[in-house]
Amino acid sequence: MTCYSLDGLTPVVDPSAYVHPSAVLIGDVIIGPHCYVGPLASLRGDFGRIVLEEGANLQDTCVMHGFPDSDTVVERNGHIGHGAVLHGCRIGADALVGMNAVVMDNARIGARSFVSAAAFVKAGFEGPEQSLIMGAPASVKRSLSDEEVSWKQAGTREYQQLAKRCLEQMQVCEPLTEPEPDRPRISDSGLRPKGSSL
């Protein structure tokens, strides 16, 4: 990872977390245990504090940033999809933010809620627990079922396992010029319910 201290504050990464080498961490960033931070993610703690709590994942090309004296937080087991932007907001425990969604300053997404892909959550928005939040500007559409929350939790466990796999097995290599005969496939972990996908 590319890591910079700023104004005497150095990013903190728990040893059990995986942060991809192309991710950038600046200043007041705290990444907790069993987190996953994907390629090209940017966590800029140059104004406010950036926090990923235990088991959270922040996928490829996500951005976390905030205004001075703000905290941008993904609580325990939060799940942030590819390309999402979080700015000075709080994502509740076990919540999911979909791909390319934007969540603005002082917005709070309740625990076990889903923000749909490409949603725009305005500053100051308050989302109740276990709700589906969609649109631009986003609004609460309905409550989520326990089955839907369970589907999300399985996906988050996949990313917690991915953090472990990457720490143990990922290495820089040169590409092959052609596939090997009988090339194996990366196997399904078995953590997701049958028929689901993230």
The percent of residues above 90 in pLDDT, for the chain, comes to 91
- Would you say residue 119 lies in a domain? yes
Count how many domains the chain has. 1
Output the domain CATH number for residue 89.
Answer: 2.160.10.10
For the stretch 53-64, pLDDT in tens is 999 999 999 999
- Would you say residue 76 lies in a domain? yes
Half-sphere exposure at residue 155, Cβ-oriented, CA atoms within 13 angstroms? 24
- Would you say residue 136 lies in a domain? yes
- Would you say residue 58 lies in a domain? yes
Which structural domain range is residue 111 located in? 2-143
Q: Is the pLDDT of residue 193 over 60?
A: no
127 band by pLDDT with thresholds 50, 70 and 90: very high
- Would you say residue 7 lies in a domain? yes
Lowest mean pLDDT among 7-11, 57-61, 187-191: 187-191
- Would you say residue 177 lies in a domain? no
- Would you say residue 80 lies in a domain? yes
- Would you say residue 100 lies in a domain? yes
pTM score, whole prediction: 0.92
198 band by pLDDT with thresholds 50, 70 and 90: very low
For the stretch 83-119, pLDDT in tens is 999 999 999 999 999 999 999 999 999 999 999 999 9
Average pLDDT value for residue range 11-37: 98
